[in-house]
Amino acid sequence: MTVYFDNAATTPLDPEVLDAMLPFMRDHFGNPSSIHGHGRQVRAAIENARKTIAHLINAAPAEIVFTSCGTEADNYAAFGSIRTLGLRHAITSPLEHHAVLHTLQALEKAGDIQLSYVRHDEQGRLDLGHLEDLLASHQGRTFVSLMHANNEIGNLNDIQTIGEVCQRHNAVFHTDTVQTMGHYQLDVQKIKTDFLVGSAHKFHGPKGVGFLYRRSGVLVDSLIHGGSQERNQRAGTENVYGIVGLAKALEIACRGMAEHQHHIQGLKDRFIQKLRAEIDGVAFNGTSAEADHSLYTVLNVSLPPSDMNEMLLFNLDINRVSVSGGSACTSGANAGSHVLHALGADQNRGAIRFSMSKYNTAEEVDYAVEQLAKMYRKEPLKI
């Protein structure tokens, strides 16, 4: 058996999404900026996709800007609003994805902003009282970026309350919803966010395409210059079949959301039960084992100190279990997880992120736990 539990990094493409994309790979090849029939046909597909996405998050079509990925969308929101609006203060947390952290740190290094960090406890829960204090203590408008769900430990943040706090202080609020888009019903009219982000490959769409929701009236300069595409908001020829696939994937995800959540939460509960039964001393990082406070697709496991931990992911891989230790964007680095480091996690314990999708099964959960348990019982591994 070969199992894949790294869906927070990327998900397999839904066959229905591929079917929607294929005509635009083979037959409908026109440039959407061309005024002839071939171009108009493709332009119509892009605008239909924009309308679909806008409808699903309760936005206006003009508020959707297509990008190459979630990282670009995060950069666009941060650079665009801070530099266009002349903001001099930004607030984030040490637990954010590097697409946000590194971007804001680069703006701070360039002298554009003063950067503040919201406090959190040892489980990664944000102190929203501290957020309010930080906003109240600075004159002028502030840029706030706090994610909906942490991509490594699965903690869910109350972005509706955060949005209300930001609104009280006239702050610009950006939330990275890359991990929750397609998994939770997101209504931008209720959240009160100015920017929100999605990336297709996190919900069974194609890689290389995402979008930024930008609330109407929040005017920011383009991050990429050189053309009038995306209503002068992002230059460059559109990734047409990616955009079509993005819209289709989000439509499918929203259509089956309740069913998929029930199925995946059941797998996560099974993981927790089996791991506790099979491995003495196992624990869980953040709030990932708390159903009401964590992303149901992510379980971050803290394993007992062992000489097995250094080769943990490698040994699981050779036993045909694909998992990660944290964000895929930092998997080539040896510095470890910045999220677990910020939580003060014991560096002698191994950490694994299991992330699940609608395609996973109970049998795969049992197999993954069995392989991991063998390592800690020091039984011979099957290679």
Global confidence as pTM: 0.94
Domain end point (choices 255, 278, 303): 255
- pLDDT single digits (tens) 118-127: 999 999 999 9
Q: Tally the domains of the chain.
A: 2
Question: 250 and 266 share a domain?
Answer: no
Q: Residue 377: what pLDDT?
A: 74
Q: What is the mean pLDDT of residues 87-92?
A: 98
Note whether 248 and 367 are same-domain residues.
no
Active site residues: 329
The range of the structural domain enclosing residue 203 comes to 15-255
383 lies in a domain? no
- Picking from 240, 255, 270, the residue at the C-terminal end of a domain is 255
The pLDDT-based confidence of 307 (bands split at 50, 70, 90) is confident
Amino acid at 55: H
Backbone angles phi, psi at 336, to 5 degrees: 85, 180
Q: Locate 141 and state its tokens.
A: 């408008």
pLDDT tens for 130-186 read 999 999 999 999 999 999 999 999 999 999 999 999 999 999 999 999 999 999 999
Kindly state whether residues 169 and 245 are assigned to the same domain: yes
pLDDT of 327 higher than 90: no
Report pLDDT for 111: 97
Residue 103: inside a domain: yes
Contact 8, 353 (CB under 8 A): yes
Per the listing, tokens 């996190």 go with 202
Angstrom CA distances, 84 to 63, 70, 77, 108, 176, stand at 17, 20, 10, 16, 20
Considering the domain architecture, whether residues 222 and 278 belong to the same structural domain is answered as no
What confidence score (pLDDT) does residue 117 get? 98
At 332 the pLDDT is 42
Final residue in a domain of this structure, among 255, 270, 302: 255
